[in-house]
Structure 1
Amino acid sequence: MNFLLLFIQFAISVHAEWNTKDFLKREHSLVKPYQGSGVTMPYWDFMGSTVITNSYIRLTPDLQSKSGAIWNSVPCKVHNWEAQVQFKVSGKGKDLFGDGFMIWYTKDRMEGGPVFGSKDFFTGLAISVDTYSNQNGPHNHQHPYISAMLNNGSKKYDHDKDGTHLQLAGCETKIRNLKHDTFIAINYENDVLKVFTDVEGKNGWKPCLEVPGVKLPTGYYFGVSAVTGELSDNHDLISFKLYSKDMPGQEFEDRSDLLPTAEFFEAPRDRAEDVKPSAPFRRFLTFIFYLFIALLVICAIIGGIWYYQSWNEKKAKRFY
């Protein structure tokens, strides 16, 4: 009996030790109060318009043409993980605002570029929070929109398609100018990618998307970047917490050299120029337009002549 009690106490102590030391990966996490001085922070580097305050990390202010990012400097060796991100998007715009922010798990880090403030032809996973209200081309959903994207480094991010040719899945959400805390959780476990949101102030996760058959390498870097263009918003990162889902003693395949792959991608929407009329049809439409203008001019001239003649006839009758 005493042996059984000792064994239970030992098991509880081992589980507690693993849960406190290994479950939250502090080298991949960022919480208040933000440590560091000057332009450095332990385990994190930042660039662009990023500003560190006591309460938040502002990636972009509510100004046009700003870009900022923060990147973890330690490669992630965890196979199964969950990233919980607290953020805030706010701004003066009521109907027009943008552009949004991106949560990254990629091979390269600290490289600025046109994709929400980071490099194009990225290799890895990106969770896009697209708030751009002036939508590019036709959509079957509203904005803001959260989507998961995957790239093996060979494909260009198509801004006209909002990256939908890289998209695995997505969901609509309302995240701007909310008075309560807003969160996104990215869960990657046993090659299944899930994204949840907590943006309604209910302190509970709401499913956004689930995609099986997603293979991600180990040794990539986490980061968050944001950008504004002609439209703008404040994009604030409050916290980034990474939790390990790996169990002690669990064995995994070596994924250090694996390229990101997925069994399923959503069908991309057409480019704006793809749905434009062909050149002969455009010439025909131009001809019809100018013909219509010419007919209007001719009708105006004929109407003017008729009115002038009628006026002269009425004027002549007044002399008899």
Structure 2
Amino acid sequence: MAQRLHPDILHLRQFTLEPPFVDDAYNIRNWDFSGDAIIDTNSHIRLTGDLPSQKGHIWSRQFLPSEGWQIDFEINIGGKGGYLYGDGMAMWATRGRLSQGPIYGNMDYFDGLGIVFDTYANSQHDFTFPVIMGVLGDGKTSYDYAHDGDANRKGKCEVYYRNQPDPMKVKVSYIKGSFVNVHIKLHEKDWMDCFTITNVTLPNISYLGYSALTGEISDIHNLYSVKVSTMRPGKMQEMRMPTSFNQLPAPESATSSGFFSILFKLVLVAGVFAGIYFAYNAYTKSNTNRF
């Protein structure tokens, strides 16, 4: 059965990325890509190949809704390296765009949010790699790259997502002034609540981007699809608990139809019992008259 869409959710098609990605002129409508990124029109956007010293990125031409949004995307990271591989990729919601640099393929001193998929540890930590992190930048502070973003990190979860048989699904929800929440789904597993960052306000003009970086060691970083949703004006304020749009309560009409369905079943069951009761009384009366 097809899932009913919540009536207050709006899908923003100008941010959609899906095969074949390009038009007849080999352009991606509403997006720009650069660096080592290449397009496989049958499957994915490859931000880097499994080669050293690569940087690739892709950025939306339009900025995200300032009050809030949900971004659903699919990625795959992996390669030939068994013990050494890297460096990683990231989803960005930042004021700047199309600036290639050393922070997972993006520029340093970014202003906004990064959801980072880091596969190589530059220093020692009390957690394992690969890891998913939420990092924030103010546009004035350099990223703590030598310590894998320790000074910028606001949330994380440890998940072994490298070389999975299917792309990993990621869901990032943002409500201005309230929270950023990240859910992930790996091959044949349920959705996992990765982390939540509270009291977050991103720049009113924030572009959506994806970037990746390899150094002396490398990995393939593929982006398979992107979909962005927002909510109707006035409904965003109702979402103050960290959640995803997919966890919103069912529309009132759907709840009402469910109520009437249950009521109908109760009436039907009551009718069956009433029929049994009257049949039993008739049977008892008949046997009494015989004697």
- TM-score interval, smaller chain: 0.7 to 0.9
**Residue aligned with 2:103, SS:** coil
Q: 1:148 aligns with which of 134, 147, 150?
A: 134
**Residue aligned with 1:214, SS:** coil
**Residue aligned with 1:126, SS:** strand
Is 1:96–2:81 an aligned residue pair? no
- For these two proteins, the number of residue pairs brought into alignment is 232
Shift of 1:17: 10
Q: Distance in 1 between matches of 2:144 and 2:234?
A: 42
Q: Which residue of 2 aligns with 1:187?
A: 173
Task: Give runs of ≥4 in structure 1 deviating > 6 Å.
Answer: none
Q: 1:85 aligns with which of 59, 63, 73?
A: 73
Q: Which residue of 2 aligns with 1:110?
A: 98
Shift of 1:217: 2.7
Q: 2:152 aligns with which of 156, 159, 166?
A: 166
Shift of 1:233: 0.7
Q: Is the 8 A contact 2:118 2:130 kept in 1?
A: yes
Gaps of 5+ in 2: 238-291
Q: Distance in 1 between matches of 2:180 and 2:236?
A: 20
Matched residue type, 1:247: R
Q: Distance in 1 between matches of 2:28 and 2:69?
A: 23
1:57-96 alignment, distance < 5 Å? 57-96=45-84
Is 1:247–2:232 an aligned residue pair? yes
Shift of 1:84: 1.0
Q: Which has the higher Rg, Structure 1 or Structure 2?
A: 1
1:66–1:213 distance in 2 versus 1, CA, 3 Å? same
Q: Distance in 2 between matches of 1:119 and 1:184?
A: 23
Q: Which has the higher helix share?
A: 1
Q: Which residue of 1 aligns with 2:206?
A: 220
Matched residue type, 1:114: P
- The Cα offsets for residues 217-243 of structure 1, whole Å up to 9 and x where unpaired, read as 322100000010011011000011111
Is 1:42–2:49 an aligned residue pair? no
Q: Distance in 2 between matches of 1:17 and 1:224?
A: 28
* TM-score normalised over the length of structure 1: 0.68
Shift of 1:185: 1.1
Give me the identity figure in percent. 34
* TM-score normalised over the length of structure 2: 0.75
**Residue aligned with 1:32, SS:** coil
Matched residue type, 1:161: H
- The Cα offsets for residues 56-103 of structure 1, whole Å up to 9 and x where unpaired, read as 000000000001000011111241211111011120111111011010
Q: Is the 8 A contact 1:83 1:242 kept in 2?
A: yes
Matched residue type, 1:176: R
Q: Distance in 1 between matches of 2:79 and 2:204?
A: 37
Q: Distance in 1 between matches of 2:195 and 2:214?
A: 26
Q: Is the 8 A contact 1:50 1:69 kept in 2?
A: yes
Q: Which residue of 1 aligns with 2:20?
A: 33
Q: Is the 8 A contact 1:84 1:186 kept in 2?
A: yes
